Amino acid sequence: MPAALLLSRFPPAFCDALAERLELIGPHDQDASIALPADVRSEIRVVITMGTIKCGAGLIDALPNLGLICNYGSGFEGTDHAAAAKRGIVVTNSPSGNASAVADLAMGLLLAACRNILVADRFVRDGRWNGQGTSAARMPLVHGLSGRKLGIFGLGEIGERIARRAEAFEMTVAYHNRSRRGDDRYPYHETLQSLAEWADVLVVAARADAGNRHIVSRDVMRALGPDGIVINIARGSLLDEMALAELLRDRELGAAGLDVFEHEPNVPAALTALDNIVLAPHIAGGTFDAHATLKSMVLANVDAFLAGRPIPTPVVLKAAAATATG
């Protein structure tokens, strides 16, 4: 029976369904996979990975019969696409599979950051609410969302859903991508700096690659102003975390909400020490509905590969590079 190599832990329901099609090996990381006996490696036809998990040239070259690399989710930056292409190996992802779930959390982080929800929760739990005076006497006044300007860096599948949700909150939306989209639904900014100078809120939804590390820089974030908010649900490498911590500490930026970090699961102490940032452990896609969709999409790619049919969702790098995480 041909085998699938798992480079991470995946939901049991997905693994059970995959085991009906392929023998499962792992989960192993890249180095442990390369060290597997040659006869085991020769049985591997499919690799299941995700996002930033490394599936490099060394591993690809160590699997002589590999034909398919499936990314469980929209991200695929951990895979060496040049090495895969050299061998004729198809790389897939699951575009839009968790887009709605991620967009929901983006708005949740925005609301929590904007309205100081976590601070208010601690205020009540600590017994500091005496029930007297106006709300302003109990908690400082904040800006709402209605009428504010939201800039989206990366108007892909996820970015579009965030835009629609923001419009429901009566926000004005604009965006920056590497290139302008074909439609004119939202105003386009030629640079990220220009978008930040216009916006009150910046949501990072762009796809990460080697060329855009820390593109959300100190200057970009400072341009949002002392009441500005930064939300990142894309990849931690896109944002300069130390600059963010300093801007929040010095009140040059109002608030932030992060679901992703550059060196997960390690979160800088400079961020955890702040009370004007909301932190989540990379859970944006973690809903039952999203995982059911991802399961179906990955299995559809596996089934097509095993049957010799066209692969439903191959990664096309030229198209993928044009926008954002999907």
Active site residue 77: no
Q: CA–CA separation, 3 vs 302, rounded Å?
A: 11
User: What are the angstrom distances between the C-alpha of 23 and each of 45, 304, 315?
Assistant: 10, 17, 25
User: What are the angstrom distances between the C-alpha of 160 and each of 122, 167, 231, 241?
Assistant: 33, 11, 15, 25
Q: CA–CA separation, 28 vs 222, rounded Å?
A: 42
What is the distance, to the nearest Å, from the Cα of residue 212 to the centroid of all Cα atoms in its chain? Answer: 14
Residue of 128, 185, 251, 264 marked catalytic: 264
Active site residue 235: yes
* Chain position carrying tokens 């006044």: 141
Q: What is the dihedral of CA 24, 304, 295, 261, to 10 degrees?
A: 80
Active site residue 81: no
Report helix angle 157-168 to 99-114, nearest 10.
50
Residue of 235, 241, 262, 291 marked catalytic: 235
Sheet holding 149-153, edge to edge: 172-176, 149-153, 201-204, 229-232, 255-258, 277-279
Question: DSSP 3-state helix, strand, coil percentages of the chain (rounded to 5)?
Answer: 40, 15, 45
Distance, first Cα to last Cα, the chain? 34
Q: CA–CA separation, 119 vs 113, rounded Å?
A: 9
Q: What string of DSSP letters covers 215-281?
A: -B-HHHHHTT-TT-EEEE-S-GGGB-HHHHHHHHHTTSS-EEEES--TBTTB--HHHHT-SSEEE--
Residue of 21, 180, 181, 282 marked catalytic: 282
Residues with a known catalytic role: 235, 264, 282
